[in-house]
Structure 1
Amino acid sequence: MLRFSGRGVSDVGLVRPHNEDAAFLGPYVALVADGVGGAAAGEVASATTAYAVSATALARFGDDPVEIIRRGISHARTSLRLGVQEDLSRAGMATTLTMLVCDGSRVLLGHVGDSRAYRLRDGLLTQVSTDHTYVQHLVDTGQLPREGVRSHPWRNVVMRSLDGNRDAAEVEADVVDLGARVGDRFLLCSDGLSDLVGDADIAEGLLVDDPHSAAATLTQAALEAGGRDNITCLVLDVVDGPLVVGDGQVLGALWDFANIVDPAAVRS
């Protein structure tokens, strides 16, 4: 039976006053949520989403991963909307979400925003998520060369995210079967890493054997590059083994229960 074995690190960085990243890493679900820069209550948006999605996945283990992703996102949006209704100062809060769900035989990616998922297989690093950003749109339409992305002034303009806007249409998440196999190593990260550390250095960091040491190495690389945003890195190895019962590792804004909007609103 396939499952994840890994660890993560979340760091406030060198510039931000607090951590608006939230993450969860368990044997069958892992995710990173990053409060969208400049929006109100980013830590509430990310922690609430991380809680709603991870709770849904834990409660529905063994169900179709596609359904888990969709239900998790739906529960998250319900909670985000409630959060805005309870406190209008949160209007505009939003978050990215990049998650992996394993049902024992498959690993599926659910993705909204510009946090990233990478796979290291046989020493080759591949970005398996697609950034929902304005500059990625420019790349896809041939208006910007890929090497121009990291220096573009609008590189952090996110075109798709999860928010609490009652009038917004249901967000469309990318859902992808990653064809995972034993020995694959996945990285989920916020843009606090990917904006500052290039693919070659990410690949090198992922070659560190121990997942926690690999996550710490990548986090340190982002800090040494300026650490201008919160940094969250989850490193997960796909392994084969017996069913594991348990919750998982909680990181970033998810540590503070006060950031979570009405956990009782989450239903399986």
Structure 2
Amino acid sequence: MLRFSGAGVSDVGLVRPHNEDSAWVGPYFAVVADGVGGAAAGEVASATAAFAVAATALARFGDPPEQVLQEGIEAARSGVRLGIQRDLNRLGMATTLTAVICDGARVVLAHVGDSRAYLYRHGMLSQISTDHTYVQQLVDSGRLPPAEARRHPWRNVVLRSIDGDPVNDGFDMLPVRVEPGDRLLLCSDGLSDLVPDAMIAELLRTEDPQSTAATLSQAAYAAGAKDNVTALVLDLVDGPAVVGDGRALGAVSDLRNVVDPAAVRARR
């Protein structure tokens, strides 16, 4: 049975006053969310979205990954919308979301924003998510050379996210062709903006996922750690089924940051 054997870190970095990243890593799912917004709203958006996907994945284990991700992201949008309705100072809060789910045979990726998912296989690194940014749009249309994208002043302008708007551009969902021995990396832009892909590939050679995640975070710190840094390292293994709800990291580890519409309904 295919599953993840992984670990992760989520650090505040050297500049930001608090951590607005959230992550959850378990044997059959993992998610990274990078929140934005004033009035302490970034951590609320990311924690709400990450919790929604994690709770859905745990409740729907064994169901088709596409259905689980669809339902999880719908729950994330509902939670962010409710969080804004509860406190209009949060207006404008939003979050990226990059998640993978494994049903024991297949892995499916859902993605919106500029956090990233990478596949590392036989020493080769490939980005399997597409950045939903203004700069990536320029690159895709041929108006900006890829080599200049990292230095563009608008490289962090995100065009798609999970926000409170019921009308949105949706998210990407795609199957990921994996095999035992592959390694996946989910990360916020606090890592990918500062650490080049070539260095990420070199650091992913470290065998232990926890050590690898820590080393990736240290590389971002060495480059200035201007943003929160989150990295999940997931090894694909084939073995007996395991039980576990995983580990929460970053803002979602404090449940006071989570807006859960299901809990609100249950109290009525």
| Corresponding residue SS for 1:83 | helix
1:191 equivalent to 2:181? Answer no
- Alpha carbons 2:82, 2:261 under 8 Å: kept: no
Tell me the C-alpha RMSD between the 2 structures: 1.4
Whether 2:226 is the aligned partner of 1:233: answer no
Aligned residue in 1 for 2:135: 135
Aligned counterpart, 1:43: 43
SS of residue in 1 equivalent to 2:75 = helix
**Alignment partner, residue 122 of structure 2:** 122
Cα distance between partner residues in 2 of 1:128 and 1:139? 16
For structure 2, list consecutive stretches of 5 or more residues without a partner in the other structure. none
Counterpart of 1:144?
144
| Alpha-carbon spacing, 1:163–1:48, altered in 2? closer, same or farther (3 Å) | same
SS of corresponding position for 1:242: coil
Amino acid at match of 1:157: V
Q: Which moved more, 1:134-143 or 1:253-262?
A: 253-262
Give the TM-score normalised by the residue count of structure 2: 0.96
Deviation of 1:262 (Å): 2.8
Structure 2 partner of 1:219? 217
Q: TM-score, normalization: structure 1?
A: 0.96
Q: Which runs of 5+ in 1 are unaligned?
A: none
> How far off is 1:36 after superposition?
2.8
Show structure 1 runs of 4+ deviating over 3 A: 37-40, 263-267
Alignment pair present for 1:82 and 2:48: no
- Give the Å deviation of 1:265: 4.2
For the 8 Å contact 1:51–1:263, the answer to whether it is kept is: no
Instruction: Name the stretch that deviates more: 239-248 or 185-194.
Output: 239-248
SS of residue matched to 1:73: helix
Does 1:209 pair with 2:207?
yes
- CA distance in 2 between counterparts of 1:40 and 1:143 reads 36
Q: CA contact under 8 A between 1:55 and 1:266: conserved in structure 2?
A: no
Q: Is the 8 A contact 1:40 1:93 kept in 2?
A: no
Contact 1:23–1:31, Cα closer than 8 Å, also in 2: yes
Q: Distance in 1 between matches of 2:38 and 2:88?
A: 16
CA distance in 1 between counterparts of 2:169 and 2:5 reads: 30
Name 1:253's counterpart in structure 2.
Answer: 251
CA contact (8 A) 2:37 2:92 kept: no
**In 1, distance between residues paired with 2:153 and 2:38?**
15
1:32 aligns with 2:36: no
The superposition leaves residues 66-123 of structure 1 with CA deviations (integer Å, 9 ceiling, x where unpaired) of: 1111100101111111111111111111000000100000001000000000010011
Name the residue aligned to 1:8: 8
State the SS of the aligned residue for 1:264: helix
Q: In the TM superposition, what is the alpha-carbon distance from 1:255 to its structure 2 partner?
A: 1.1
Aligned pairs, number: 265
**Within 2, Cα distance between the matches of 1:176 and 1:231?**
25
| Change over 3 Å in CA distance of 1:207–1:266 after alignment to 2 | farther
